[in-house]
Structure 1
Amino acid sequence: MLDYDAEADRYDETRGGVPRARAAAEAVLRLVPPGARTLLDLACGTGLVTERLGRPGLRVHGFDAAYGMARKAAQRLPGRVALADARRLPLPDASVDAVSAVWLLHLVPFADAIVAEAARVLRPGGVLVVTVDKDGAHDVGSDIDRLLAPHRSYEHASDRADRVEAYAAAHGLEPAGTTCFTGHGQGGTPRGTAEKLRRGSYASWFRGDAETSAALTAALAALPDQDGRRADPEYRLTAYRRPVPRG
């Protein structure tokens, strides 16, 4: 996993910047109920998405476990960002109307604990909005994808949609909608993909040994337009709702 404290100062410029952040925020807000008054953005990073989640009547707060990320976010959202582990939020039960977690669950082996904690702090009628199947979003049919496809496996992905839905159900949340958004600036290049393969950045889904990795690296180096970005991925967001008790 990346050292997010070390990455904080260059994170935005290497992750699609404002266009990707704006697309993500607009998608989250499509799934947040119109009457929501409070939104908690987990793993808010530098706050680039978080600061775009506002709308009239909605108060947004960000939490991140990495000091470097939280420091950057606090510059964008003074007084509304704090350090916190997404599994142990410093909030009482049933205290917020919405929780968002964009590009978080695929990074951790404890997605269930994050969903459980979000369910704890949601009020009845509140929603949890999360990205699912993040790594699979990069299967967009380019020449890079055709090379990698036989060596991809998402069996153990912690943000696999069916797995997250099961976690949500176990903690009393029900499906409440889905939407997609474009990951602007996230289309891969042959050269960049080969470098990530060499670094082991694809360990979560790569199915193969060192010999396979070396062969793929050579095949990627043979592709045309080595620094040309292929199609941007389409990320998927899913919402889960805390039911309102009847009677």
Structure 2
Amino acid sequence: MLDYDVEAAHYDATRGGVPRAWSAARAILALVPERAGTLLDVGCGTGLVTERLMRPGLRVLGTDASPGMAELAARRLGPSLVVLGNGHRLPFADASLDAVSAVWLLHLLPDAPSVVAECARVLRPGGTFVTTVDKDAGHGTDSDVEELLAPFRVRRAYDAAARIQAVACEHGLRRVGEARFTGHGQGRSPAGTAGEVAQGHYAAALTIDAEQCDGLVSRLSRLPDPEVPRADPVYRLLALRKEY
């Protein structure tokens, strides 16, 4: 797992920046009902996406467990709109919010179901939870980089859509829609992927021992055009409404 306090300073620049943030925000807002008056962005990071969720009549809040990330988000949104908090125990009252979003979060968490439960808890009846699912599948299967990663992929990702929907159903959430958006600037290059695998950034996504890791890094490094990013990923969002 990354140290997000350390990553905060350069996080946006290495994650597609403003184009990716706008792409995500537009897709999220398309799933949030116009009547919603409050929205909480869980795992808001630096707030780059969060600040683009603002629209007339919608009060947008953010929370993140990383002090470094939350500090940057507070500069963007305002200190009164960002709370340092853990997604497993959100610092909000039961049934107090109209919408909750969680973008690029659940895939990091072995205990993602507890975050889904918390998001359901803070939603009012009729409220909407919007989350990314199947994040790693967004990169597709037809690139040479993905072909090498595929044999080591965990069979059940933390944010697998079927898993998230099942947990959501247990907490009174029902699927009401979905959307897709492009992760601009997130196409993987062989060299960049090799470096991330070597540094353990794929720990949640790959089942791999030290010897296999070395072999995978070597094969990735030998692919043609090692510095050239492959196609940008297309991410999937689910919208789930609280029925009771």
Fold shared by both chains (TM-score > 0.5): yes
**194-203 or 163-172, which moves further after superposition?**
194-203
Which amino acid letter does the alignment assign opposite residue 44 of structure 2? C
- The question of 1:217 aligning with 2:217 is answered yes
**140-149 or 228-237, which moves further after superposition?**
140-149
Deviation, 1:212, is: 2.8
Counterpart residue number, 1:70: 70
C-alpha contact (below 8 Å) 1:139/1:149 kept by paired residues: no
What is the alpha-carbon distance in structure 2 between the residues aligned to residue 77 and residue 159 of structure 1?
Answer: 27
Deviation, 1:140, is: 4.2
- The question of 1:189 aligning with 2:196 is answered no
Does the residue aligned with 1:106 lie in a helix, a strand or coil? helix
Q: CA 1:148–1:109 in 2, change beyond 3 Å: closer, same or farther?
A: closer
What is the alpha-carbon distance in structure 2 between the residues aligned to residue 75 and residue 176 of structure 1?
Answer: 34
- The question of 1:124 aligning with 2:131 is answered no
Gaps of 5+ in 1: none
Counterpart residue number, 2:202: 202
Counterpart residue number, 1:91: 92
Counterpart residue number, 1:139: 140
Counterpart residue number, 1:17: 17
Counterpart residue number, 1:178: 178
C-alpha contact (below 8 Å) 1:63/1:82 kept by paired residues: yes
What is the alpha-carbon distance in structure 1 between the residues aligned to residue 228 and residue 101 of structure 2?
Answer: 32
User: So what's the TM-score if we normalise by structure 1?
Assistant: 0.94
What is the alpha-carbon distance in structure 1 between the residues aligned to residue 30 and residue 205 of structure 2?
Answer: 30
C-alpha contact (below 8 Å) 1:124/1:242 kept by paired residues: yes
Counterpart residue number, 2:108: 107
Number of residue-to-residue matches in the alignment: 243
Q: CA 1:121–1:208 in 2, change beyond 3 Å: closer, same or farther?
A: closer
User: So what's the TM-score if we normalise by structure 2?
Assistant: 0.95
Counterpart residue number, 1:159: 159
Counterpart residue number, 1:231: 231
Q: CA 1:207–1:49 in 2, change beyond 3 Å: closer, same or farther?
A: same
Deviation, 1:191, is: 0.7
Gaps of 5+ in 2: none
Does the residue aligned with 2:72 lie in a helix, a strand or coil? helix
Q: CA 1:150–1:87 in 2, change beyond 3 Å: closer, same or farther?
A: closer
Deviation, 1:193, is: 1.0
Identical-pair percentage: 58
**113-122 or 134-143, which moves further after superposition?**
134-143
What is the alpha-carbon distance in structure 2 between the residues aligned to residue 119 and residue 205 of structure 1?
Answer: 26
C-alpha contact (below 8 Å) 1:154/1:160 kept by paired residues: no
C-alpha contact (below 8 Å) 2:141/2:147 kept by paired residues: no
C-alpha contact (below 8 Å) 2:2/2:201 kept by paired residues: no
